[in-house]
Structure 1
Amino acid sequence: MNSITQVQQDMLSRMEQFKTLSEGGQIKPAQLFEGQMPREGFATAFDQAIRAVDAQQHKSGALMAAVDSGKSDDLVGAMVESQKASVAFSALMQVRNKMTNAFEEVMRMPM
């Protein structure tokens, strides 16, 4: 399996995780009043996704800087990592846009 397909499969699995988390059970506000924040949830999953994309961007940047400075001659590897970072960032932005649209839609609902 090539690396682009692997990144796409990874992003699809993350999107499935987000979908599963968003379809979770009822909200339990009593947990918030008891001072216990839920350990797993959408915010945690989204934070992990952002951190993973950020790490991918930094890795890509470091490889490109190494090629630019002449420390590495693996241009193909650096370009593949750059494309992985680009796909991951694009997927993250699409998820963010979908979530923003969903939030706006909920806010427009009559009470």
Structure 2
Amino acid sequence: MEPISTQNLLLNRMNQMELMAENGAIAPANNSGIQQDFMQVVRDVNAQQNLASEMMQAVDTGASQDVVGAMVTSQKANLSFNMLMEVRNKVLSGFDDVMRMTL
């Protein structure tokens, strides 16, 4: 394929996409879903952190004898937080990759 014909094909395809967008065939993305999902995950991780903190404080003050339960809850909260950070890092890495793409 020659460069001129490739450019013409790309230009035709771009014009077709522009017409589709003008006719409403392409709807804008709804970003509220992922944002709400991510905020819910952050709230859940925060709730786990708070529960672990309360359980550890109860053990420290002598109000509870459930040391094993407090340690398990603390480890679950730590694991959830680490997972959240890994997901955040992957999303940011993907965003950086998209931003570095050449057009």
Which amino acid in 1 is paired with 2:61? S
More helix, by proportion: 2
Q: 1:39 offset after TM fit, Å?
A: 8.5
Deviations 1:26-82 (A, max 9, x none): x733x8xxxxxx596211111110000000000000000000011001000000000
Q: Which residue of 1 aligns with 2:33?
A: 41
Q: Which residue of 2 aligns with 1:87?
A: 79
Q: Which residue of 2 aligns with 1:28?
A: 27
**1:33-72 alignment, distance < 5 Å:** 38=30, 41-72=33-64
- The structure having more radius of gyration, on CA atoms, is 2
Unaligned stretches of 5+ residues in structure 1: 1-26, 32-37
Which amino acid in 2 is paired with 1:93? M
Aligned residues: 78
Q: Which residue of 2 aligns with 1:6?
A: none
Unaligned stretches of 5+ residues in structure 2: 1-25
Q: Which residue of 1 aligns with 2:12?
A: none
Give the structure-2-normalised TM-score.
0.70
Moved over 6 A (4+): none
Tell me the percent identity.
Answer: 49
Q: Work out which structure has the larger RCO, using CA pairs closer than 8 Å and 6 or more positions apart in sequence.
A: 1
CA RMSD of aligned residues (A): 1.8
